Amino acid sequence: MEKKGTLIVISGFSGVGKGTVVKRLVQDYGYSLSISATTRAPREGEVDGREYYFKSKEDFMNLIDYNGFIEWAVYVENYYGTPRAFVEKELAAGHNVILEIEVQGALNIKSQYPDAVLIFLTAPSAEVLKNRLIGRGTEDPAVIEKRMKRAVEESEDMDQYEYIVVNDDLDQCVKDVNSVIVAKSCRLEENIEFMKEMKAELKAL
Ligand code: 5GP
């Protein structure tokens, strides 16, 4: 009774610790992680093919033309997109795939893949969020300002998500996100095919 994999969309405010949470979900629970392409410049320590595939704008546009993305969006003046080939291959193999993407991309995914689980990560408060962004030290003040403005916009979209998880304690947050995914996969509507087969098998015994 093979099941196709599920897409798990994780969004959240800039600086909320999405990257760390997602890495732990991969390590602790074996989820597949989709690596996005972006036209943003690499931050210190970021490696091409690990955090992102770093692309020129021209290469990114070509990938759009060749239907290379299942979704793409512009965020703070840069392009970001989810490569199609990896996601389709992993889902077909029955793996659950995590996409760490922003709101426009999340909604786009939900309309194409209605079974996708949409999770929004938030800090316990706006104050904590701003302090984390400053503390990260990777962005200059103008960019922080832009990202906080964007956070205000993103807060308007929080109610488009199915689950809101607070990242206060990292271990707890990772457990909570996994619990959400497990709970969703156990829902009746996710198991219609399984039930049919089970009923048929029982009758045939
Ligand atoms: P950052 O520049 O901080 O790595 O990412 C900026 C934003 O882009 C984050 O909200 C991140 O989740 C989002 N993002 C990363 N990859 C993708 C993608 O492939 N598609 C979309 N729509 N958003 C992405």
Among 22, 102, 112, say which to mutate for ligand 1: greatest number of ligand atoms within 8 Å of CB. Answer: 102
The string of pLDDT tens digits covering residues 167-185 is 999 999 999 999 999 999 9
Q: What pLDDT is stored for residue 10 in this prediction?
A: 98
What is this structure's pTM?
A: 0.91
The string of pLDDT tens digits covering residues 151-168 is 898 899 899 999 999 999
Sign of CA dihedral 25, 27, 31, 36: positive
Q: What pLDDT is stored for residue 170 in this prediction?
A: 97
Q: Provide the domain count of the chain.
A: 1
Structure tokens at 62: 């070509």
Task: Answer whether residue 78 is part of any domain.
Answer: no
Average pLDDT, the chain: 93
Task: Answer whether residue 192 is part of any domain.
Answer: yes
Task: Answer whether residue 152 is part of any domain.
Answer: yes
Task: Answer whether residue 47 is part of any domain.
Answer: no
Task: Answer whether residue 165 is part of any domain.
Answer: yes
Q: What pLDDT is stored for residue 1 in this prediction?
A: 61
Residue 164 belongs to domain spanning:
7-35+96-204
Task: Answer whether residue 20 is part of any domain.
Answer: yes
Among 8, 100, 103, 120, say which to mutate for ligand 1: greatest number of ligand atoms within 8 Å of CB. Answer: 100
Residues with CB under 6 A from ligand 1: 14, 36, 40, 71, 73, 75, 80-82, 100-102, 104-105
Task: Answer whether residue 127 is part of any domain.
Answer: yes
Residue 200's CATH number: 3.40.50.300
Tell me the helices (H) and strands (E) count for the chain, helix number first: 8, 9
Among 33, 75, 110, 146, say which to mutate for ligand 1: greatest number of ligand atoms within 8 Å of CB. Answer: 75
Cα of 37 vs centre of ligand 1, distance in Å, is 9
Q: What are phi and psi of 103, to 5 degrees?
A: -60, -50
Task: Answer whether residue 61 is part of any domain.
Answer: no
The string of pLDDT tens digits covering residues 53-106 is 999 999 999 999 999 999 999 988 999 999 999 999 999 999 999 999 998 999
Name the DSSP letter for residue 175: H
